[in-house]
Amino acid sequence: MPNPKHPKSKNETITDYKDYTWVGTVVNVHGIRGELKILPITNTPEYYLETDCFYIEKNNYLCAYKTESVRFHKNQWIVKFVAILDRNDAEEHRGCRVLLEDSQLRPLEEDEYFYHQLVGCQVVDLEGTELGIVKELFDTGASDILVITGKKNEFMVPSIPEFIKEIDVNKQVIRIDPIPGLIEDE
C-alpha cells in the first residue's frame, strides 16, 4: 500500500482531493536543469516511471506538470518537468506534495488497498459492534498498522489476518477480531 503519512508539519493539515492520491513529496532539487527529487510513498515506484503528468500541490492548489523524463535513483524519482526550466524554478517546489489522478494509479490486486481508501472506515468487531474509525495507517516494516479512534480511546491494530477479518472499501467497513485488552472497556 502506498503510505500517505508524510505531514508537512505537526500543525498543518493535509488537504484531500477527490479523485487524486498523494504519491510523493518533493524533497530536493537535482542539478542545474531544474530536476526535482521526489520521495515516492508507494511500494511500487518503478510502475510510475512512464508517467507523463504529475500534479504538484503548491500553496494549496494543484497544478498539472507534464514530464520530460522520470527515472528512479537511490529510492527517489528524479523528474524533469517541461515547465520547470532551471534550479531556481525547481527550488520553489521543495516540500510540495506530488499527486496523481486515481485513474493513473497502479491497478490493485485482490485484497490490496491504498491507505487513503481505509482512512475514515468504520471499524466493527465480529458481532458488528462499532469500535471506532480509522484515523491513519503507517508501515512498521513487518505490517501496516491501523490507528483507530474509538469512543473513549485510540488504539492500534496490525493489518494481519489474525486481526483483520474483512475489509469492505465500498461500504467503508473493516471487521476485526480484537484480542482481549486491545480496546479499553467502556
Where are the domains positioned within the chain? 20-104, 115-176
9: closest CA among 95, 94, 90? Answer: 95
12 vs 66, which has greater pLDDT?
66
How much of the chain exceeds pLDDT 90, in percent?
A: 63
pLDDT at 14: 54
**85 confidence band (pLDDT: 50, 70, 90):** very high
**13 confidence band (pLDDT: 50, 70, 90):** very low
Assign domain 20-104 to its CATH architecture. Answer: Beta Barrel (2.40)
pLDDT tens string 138-166:
888 788 899 999 988 899 999 999 999 99
Among the residue ranges 7-21, 66-80, 160-174, the one predicted with the least confidence is 7-21
pTM of structure: 0.69
CATH number of 115-176: 2.30.30.240
Three-state secondary structure call for residue 66: strand
Q: Evaluate if residue 2 carries a pLDDT over 70.
A: no
How much of the chain exceeds pLDDT 70, in percent?
A: 90
Produce one character per residue of 56-83: b if its CB has 16 or more CB atoms within 10 Å, e if not: bbeeeeeeebebeebeeeeebbbbbbee
In this prediction, residues 4-25 reach a mean pLDDT of: 61
pLDDT tens string 93-133:
999 999 999 899 999 888 788 887 888 999 999 999 999 99
Mean pLDDT across the chain: 87
In this prediction, residues 68-88 reach a mean pLDDT of: 96
The answer to whether the beta carbons of residues 173 and 131 sit under 8 Å apart is no
The answer to whether the beta carbons of residues 104 and 42 sit under 8 Å apart is no
